[in-house]
Amino acid sequence: MFLRVLFCFCLFNCVFFTHAQTCCSGGIPLSNNIGLAPLEKGTLQVGIHYDYNNLNTLNFGTEKLDDNSRLRVTHSVLLNANYDITSRLSIEGLFTWVNQRRKITQFDNENLEQSSGIGDAVLLLKYNFSNTFGQNSSLNIGAGTKIPLGSTTEKNSQGITLNADLQPGSNVWDLVLWTLMSKNFNFRPSFGVWSQITYRSTGTNKEYLENSTYKFGNEFQAYLGFSDQFLMFNALTNPGISFKYRHAEKDMISGFDLDNTGGNWISVIPDFSIYIKPNIIFSTQFEIPLYSNVDGIQLTPTYRLTTGLLFRILPKKNIINLN
């Protein structure tokens, strides 16, 4: 029974905390793709995910404008790895490759600008407090940094440097704070409630367009999620649903707030995952905005899709076989 609960817990965390969201509405999904839950000492988890973020909704504040001529798409490939140094301490890295597209369809023309390349990365050190909220509960905290691996000098076909929003990188180190709380219940051990909070304090790019500075707005994200577990096609599956609140402050350019950036968003994220092998989980999730309140006029997320695989390599003696 204990193993089953542990297994459920691990699955639950793996499924929910490997998925992507964006640092800015259209940027590289870093902030909520971090936070693989720790397992036992010596465990290595490797996730490979694809994230598709579609922004085709033009908002003025909360008002949705009748204009779908602008399309902002971010394709991301996300590779993250987590190693449990001890039963409480773990380290996680997230590496990205990104293709960012901005397409305007107006006046019978389509105009596409895009950039591709390695994006920024995140390194996170985490500590686990088990049973903080009673039996089968967990509190994890972590701190880390975003590492500016991505290019910020990508140019368009005319040789003009693309603006900050379309660059794979940001050229700054950010501070990332993370916490994850979860609780499973005795009345149904497979059912769990979890909450995650991520805060990103952004740095300032002092070489933006050579002689300007640019700072993406600080970002706060909070999740509340529910998950359960069922047997389907002789495989363990985890359907779930979560709600996300995201707040982003305005970007700053040369020390001044930049209008038409930042805002508040609430979205719902149904998800589904399945064990295709005892140590391989396939997952997919779909994010649908419920509420968008942007500063000024902005493209705001229309939908987002994330799917991928998570591999867990347990210390040999501890491999659990449920088949």
Partner 1 sequence: MKKILILYSIVLIFSCSNGGDGKNDNANTPQPEPEVWLIDKNKVLDGGPGKDGIPSIDNPKFVEAQSQVYINDNDLVVGVKYNNEVKAYPHDILNWHEIVNDAFNDQSLTINYCPLTGTAFGWQSMSNGEPSTFGVSGLLYLANLILYDRNTDSNWSQMLLQCVNGDLMGDFPTTVNVIETNWLTWKNLYPNTKVLSRDTGFYNDSHYNNYPYGPYLTVDDFFIFQVFPLNSTLPFKQRVYAIINNTAKVYQFSDFEGGNAIVDSFNGKNYLVVGNENVINAFELTNDFSNLNFEYCFNDTEVFFKDNEGNNWSIFGNAISGPREGQNLITPKSVVSFWFAIAAFYPDPEIYSN
Cα 122 from Cα 308, distance rounded (Å): 19
Q: Which is nearer to partner 1, 177 or 305 (CB)?
A: 305
Q: Work out which of 133, 254, 288, 315 binds partner 1, going by CB under 8 A.
A: 254
Residues 6+ apart with CB under 8 A from 165: 24, 26, 27, 100, 102
**Position 75 contacts partner 1 (CB under 8 A):** yes
Per CB under 8 A, contacts with partner 1 among 260-279 are: 260, 274, 276
- Name which position in 2, 187, 211, 323 contacts partner 1 (CB under 8 A): 211
From 166, 269, 294, 314, residue interacting with partner 1 (rule: CB under 8 A): 166
Q: Is 70 in the site for partner 1 (CB under 8 A)?
A: yes
162 in contact with partner 1 (CB under 8 A)? yes
Neighbours of 229 (CB within 10 A): 23
Q: Closer to partner 1 at the Cβ: 186 or 321?
A: 321
Q: Total residues contacting partner 1 (rule CB under 8 A)?
A: 56
Q: Where does this chain touch partner 1 (CB under 8 A) — which range of 12-20, 30-38, 79-87, 248-256?
A: 248-256
User: 32, 31, 78: which is closest to 52 by C-alpha?
Assistant: 78
Residue 230 interacting with partner 1 (CB under 8 A) = no
Query: Which is nearer to partner 1, 184 or 307 (by Cβ)?
Result: 307
Q: For strands 230-232 and 235-248, give the pairing.
A: antiparallel
Contact between 69 and partner 1 per CB under 8 A: yes
Q: How far is CA 319 from the centre of its chain?
A: 28
Among 62, 68, 86, 106, binds partner 1 (CB under 8 A): 106
311 scored as a contact of partner 1 (CB under 8 A): no
Kindly state whether residue 60 participates in binding partner 1, applying the rule CB under 8 A: yes
Based on the shown chain and the rule CB under 8 A, indicate whether residue 322 belongs to the binding site for partner 1: no
Sign of CA dihedral 278, 307, 262, 63: negative
CA distance 203 to 277: 41
Cα–Cα dist 323/277, whole Å: 9
H/E stretch holding 10: helix 2-16
212 contributes a contact to partner 1 by CB under 8 A: yes
- Residue 207 binding partner 1, by CB under 8 A: no
Quick one: which of 87, 123, 165, 199 contacts partner 1 (CB under 8 A)? 165
Rounded-to-integer distance, Cα 58 and Cα 300, Å: 6
| Bridge partners of residue 294, in order along the sequence | 263
- Residue 228, SS3 per DSSP: coil
Specify the stretch interacting with partner 1 by CB under 8 A; choose among 6-14, 60-68, 130-138, 313-321. Answer: 60-68
> What is the smallest separation between the CB atom of 282 and partner 1, expressed in angstroms?
5
Long-range contact set of residues 109-117: C-beta below 8 Å, sequence gap at least 24: 113/156, 113/162, 113/166, 114/166, 115/151, 115/154, 115/162, 115/166, 115/167, 115/168, 116/168, 117/150, 117/151, 117/154, 117/168, 117/169
Residues that bind partner 1 (CB under 8 A): 50, 52, 54, 60, 65, 67, 69-71, 73, 75, 101-104, 106-114, 156-163, 165-166, 209-212, 233-235, 253-254, 256-260, 274, 276, 282, 284, 296-297, 305, 307
